[in-house]
Amino acid sequence: MKIGIDQISFYTSHYYVDLRTLADARSVEPDKYYLGIGQEKMAIPAPDEDVVTLAASAAYPLKERGELEEVELLLFATESGIDQSKAAGIYVHGLLEMPSRCRAIELKQACYSATAGIQLAIGFVARNPGKKALVIASDIARYELGSPGEATQGCGSVAMVISADPRILTIDAESGYYTEDVMDFWRPNYRSEALVDGKYSTMVYIHALLESWKQYADLSGRSLTDFDRFCYHIPFTKMAEKAHQKLCRKCKVDIDREGMQALLEESLRYSRITGNCYSGSMYVGLASLLDHADEDLAGKRIGFYSYGSGCVGEFFSGVVEPGYRDMLYTDRHINMLENRTELSYQQYEDIFNYGVPTDGGEYVFPQYKTGPFRFSGISQHKREYESLVD
């Protein structure tokens, strides 16, 4: 049975900071960001957005098209959780008015957990072929002001339906995966910004890639030249390019600048102007590739490398289905990104320093520009959400 991605929709916040503005504030050459790490803009969530509103906004177009009707499993991948007990996916289930016959849980393993979600969803569909799973990856990447990670911040969410006979991408059975207990990036419960050993994290990312690839290649018998495109986890776009270079070197495959562009460039476009969104980043890359490739990708094999610090890496692959373009939300994605509002440095810092109240008081939050849902206030320690659609 073919199982894989039947729908994919991406959402990010309405606000962004141009990294030239950040470079100016930090007395850094803008090219360090634009060329050195390959990032141009970072998406900043409004004070009335959180991982729930980002996720519900990513999934809403699927609901509008009637694509959530057979969903009986909702897996919410995040490392920006809003509650230690209640799964963020339950709020999304409510906002989207999904049927009560549905399992809903939250998954965590840094940027890797959406991939775990997809693999678990494949098992669910194999057992229940008429049913579907909704996997949502939703995160807000935050590092300390002035830290080396700051320019790689971002936010966003990707909602994917996993089903039998998928209309976008069939996922191959073979997979290479690798876990090792390392401290390259982490966020203790008492902090709202991640801690990271930046240079070390890039080395672990590559080490886990080479280990995952080795297993995948042994299991599948495929070599690097069997792939038409690659989607990497994208903490910053240069990381994906460096990783692919290392993999080519390891596999003794020659690759020049043009070859690299042809394999990766379309997948990096959305991330370059939104930043890292942790668990969703690789799938933002997939949406970007599908939305931007001029060539019809039907029948083409894509290699995926998912990485979550701490760490777990996984290399897997999939084949694009004929007619996939009819399933995409390309116009919606492009329209959303073209109509964002740029923030000044001071506006960015004010939003960054804003903290959700924790005193149990009654709060109604001012309305910013969001998608179809917003985080409207807090009452008796309970988050309140508002739907802006009928």
Smallest distance, ligand HMG to C-beta of residue 125, A: 26
> CA-CA distance, 37 to 141, in Å (whole number)?
16
Q: At 120, give phi and psi (nearest 5°).
A: -65, -40
Q: Please state, as a whole number, how many other Cβ atoms lie within 10 Å of the Cβ of residue 248.
A: 16
Residue 116 exposure: Cα atoms within 13 Å on the Cβ side: 21
> Annotated active-site positions, please?
79, 111, 233
Nearer to ligand HMG (CB atom), residue 29 or residue 295: 29
CA angle, corner 227, sides to 208 and 110, nearest 5?
Answer: 30
Nearer to ligand HMG (CB atom), residue 9 or residue 309: 309
Smallest distance, ligand HMG to C-beta of residue 75, A: 17
Nearer to ligand HMG (CB atom), residue 23 or residue 328: 23
Smallest distance, ligand HMG to C-beta of residue 308, A: 4
Where are the extended beta strands (E) located within the chain?
3-11, 15-18, 41-44, 71-77, 103-107, 132-141, 154-164, 169-179, 185-186, 195-196, 229-232, 301-308, 312-320, 341-342, 363-364, 373-379, 382-387
Query: Using CB under 6 A as the criterion, which residues of the chain lie in contact with ligand HMG when the complex forms?
Result: 29, 31-32, 35-37, 79, 110-111, 148-149, 152, 184-185, 196, 198-199, 201-202, 205, 233, 235-236, 239, 276, 278, 307-309
Query: Long-range CB contacts (< 8 A, 24+ apart) of 62-70?
Result: 62/7, 62/9, 62/134, 62/159, 62/161, 63/96, 63/97, 65/7, 67/6, 67/7, 67/161, 68/96, 68/98, 68/132, 68/134, 68/161, 70/130, 70/131, 70/132, 70/163
Nearer to ligand HMG (CB atom), residue 245 or residue 379: 245
Nearer to ligand HMG (CB atom), residue 22 or residue 297: 22
Smallest distance, ligand HMG to C-beta of residue 246, A: 12
Nearer to ligand HMG (CB atom), residue 103 or residue 187: 187
Q: Among all residues, whose Cβ is closest to ligand HMG?
A: 36
Smallest distance, ligand HMG to C-beta of residue 277, A: 9
Question: If DSSP states are collapsed to H, E and C, what string results for 121-136?
Answer: HHHHHHHCCCCEEEEE
Smallest distance, ligand HMG to C-beta of residue 38, A: 9
